[in-house]
Amino acid sequence: MGLPEKPSLLTLILLTSISVLSLNMFLPSLSRIATELDADYALVSLSIGAYLGVSAALQIVMGPLSDLYGRRPVLLVGLAIFAIASLGCLLAQNIWVFLGFRLLQSLVVCAMVISRAVVRDIAPQDQAARLLGLIGTAMALAPLLGPVLGGVLDQLFGWRANFAAYMLMGIGLFVLTWVDLPETNPNVGAGFGRHFRSYPELLGVPLFWAHCGCLVFSVGGFYAFLGGAPQVAEVQFGLTPAWVGVGMGSISAGFMLGNYLTGRLSGRVALSRIVLTGRWLALIGPAVGAALFAMGLSHPLLMFGFVMFIGLGNGLTIPGVNASVMSVAPHLAGSASGLSGALTFGGGAALTAISGVVVSTAGGAAALLLLLAAVSALALLSAQYAYRLEARMA
């Protein structure tokens, strides 16, 4: 049986990008949303933390749902709800209405999950790896460009302009998906329960938990930064939304550099050495930054500059750890990917909420950097434990 019809690569890249942009584009506006809707910053930061929590749950079921009902219908429903929820956020006049529609926006996570499934449907293994690499480039660029775009929109038109943009993106991608993305799942109706039956086996493997711990705390540092940096940048340093957006891109710039270095070093340097180097860099950067703030130095370039080490460390860590998670039990690679992704989103939700509370105290920048250093230390310990387990099993 031949491979199914293919959507264009641009469609898959745009679907992946909107999943990222929906998380970070409006972040420079968090303080202004809190002011206009008369809410505490920690409450408004639930628009990130609770969003990630719901996304974690959805990530577990979206793949199996697309196995049962097909990629195309699940994706179209998710995009339609995202567009409607974006309109709700745009028109919201109180924080609870805003947060309710914001949680509905999380259904756009289907675009990321299903676009990867479509790649597996339409391409043999060697070509799928290349396509996923190209799509991964969008995953690196979107966090870099999203906050800048969001900050500019806020400064020109107000924070609601971000949600008008989300609504237009949702409508545009719904139309593009309708026109360009045929059903690619050749076995619609099969496999829904298979993923869930495999989870207990994975949860009983210590090495899976060790690699997941590294992944959760590595990515969690990124989410903690997203949750706290806008408040610090605007309140402590007085930056405009546009400049907040530029600063927020620093961690993504570091991530892109780390990804590039990983590509250059892979095959020549042991994977464990690359990962551990990344974890040490992600720990040292914010720790040094926190020490300088404690000594009385205070400047936004210090915060954003040292946070680049989180992104650099993650770029050196995440590709290798993702591969390791799926190699713990090769026959359960798909389930391992989905479960580790859900745990990562859930951990990100918790750390985002913690970050929103931490930066509301005095000395927001120093407190944020200390939190990032602590999370990075947990990721380093998890990585070291994982490689000890692997050495015993060798």
Q: Please tell me the distance from the alpha carbon of residue 346 to that of residue 49, in angstroms, as a whole number.
A: 8
Task: Collect all residues with Cβ–Cβ distance below 8 Å to 148 and sequence separation of at least 6.
Answer: 242, 245, 246, 248, 249
Assign 1 a pLDDT band (cuts: 50, 70, 90). Answer: very low
Residue pair 108/80 in contact by the 8 Å Cβ criterion: no
Burial annotation 300-312 (CB, 10 A radius, 16+ → b, else e)? bebbbebbbbbbb
Mean pLDDT of 177-188: 82
Average predicted confidence (pLDDT) for the chain: 83
Final residue belonging to a domain, choices 168, 190, 212? 190
Residues 215 and 329 in one domain: yes
Instruction: Say if residue 218 is in the same domain as residue 169.
Output: no
250 and 169 in one domain?
Answer: no
Which of the listed residues 174, 190, 206 is the one where a domain comes to its end? 190
pLDDT tens across 234-268, in order? 878 888 878 887 887 888 788 888 877 887 787 78
Q: How many domains is the chain partitioned into structurally?
A: 2
Same-domain pairing of 78 and 102: yes
The answer to whether residues 93 and 52 belong to one domain is yes
pLDDT at 71: 83
The parent domain of residue 131 ranges over: 1-190
pLDDT in the model for residue 193: 63
Supply the pLDDT for residue 98: 96
Please compute, for residue 377, the number of CA atoms within 13 A of its CA located in the half-sphere on the CB side: 8
Which amino acid, residue 300? P
Q: What φ, ψ does residue 266 adopt, rounded to 5°? A: -60, 135
26 and 175 in a single domain? The answer is yes
Are 150 and 5 within one domain?
A: yes
Rounded distance, CA 263 to CA 145, Å?
22
Instruction: List Cβ neighbours of 226 (8 Å cut-off, separation of 6 or more).
Output: 23, 24, 27, 48, 248, 352, 355
Q: Are 284 and 143 members of one domain? A: no
With cut-offs at 50, 70 and 90, classify the pLDDT of residue 3. Answer: very low
**What CATH number is given to the structural domain containing 242?**
1.20.1250.20
Pick the last residue of a domain from 157, 190, 223: 190
The pLDDT assigned to 168 comes to 97
135/208: higher pLDDT: 208
Q: Backbone dihedral region of 297: left (phi > 0), alpha (psi from -120 to 50 degrees) or beta? A: beta
- Give DSSP secondary structure letters for 340-390: HHHHHHHHHHHHHHHHHHHTTSSSHHHHHHHHHHHHHHHHHHHHHHHHHHH
pLDDT in tens, 100-152: 999 999 999 888 878 877 876 776 645 654 566 567 666 667 777 788 888 88
For residue 158, the SS3 value is coil
CA distances from 86 to 101, 105, 127, 362 (A): 7, 7, 35, 34
| 197 three-state secondary structure | helix
Give the SS3 label for residue 315. helix
Angle, helix 125-157 to helix 241-248, in steps of 10 degrees? 160
Residue 326: is its pLDDT beyond 60? yes
Q: What is the pLDDT of residue 358?
A: 83
Per-residue confidence band for 56, with pLDDT thresholds at 50, 70 and 90: confident
Q: Mean pLDDT, to the nearest integer, of 171-186? A: 89
Task: Name which residue leads in pLDDT, 277 or 136.
Answer: 277
Residues 6+ apart with CB under 8 A from 367: 358, 359, 361
Q: What is the pLDDT of residue 337?
A: 67
Same domain, 8 and 40: yes
Listed in sequence order, the residues at least 6 apart from 347 whose beta carbon sits closer than 8 Å to its beta carbon are 216, 217, 219, 220, 223
Residue 184 shares a structural domain with residue 218: no
Q: Are residues 9 and 31 in the same domain?
A: yes
Q: For residues 179-190, give the mean pLDDT.
A: 76
- Same-domain status, 223 and 367: yes
Q: What Cα–Cα distance (Å) separates residue 201 from each residue in 8, 171, 332, 343, 389? A: 37, 41, 9, 16, 18
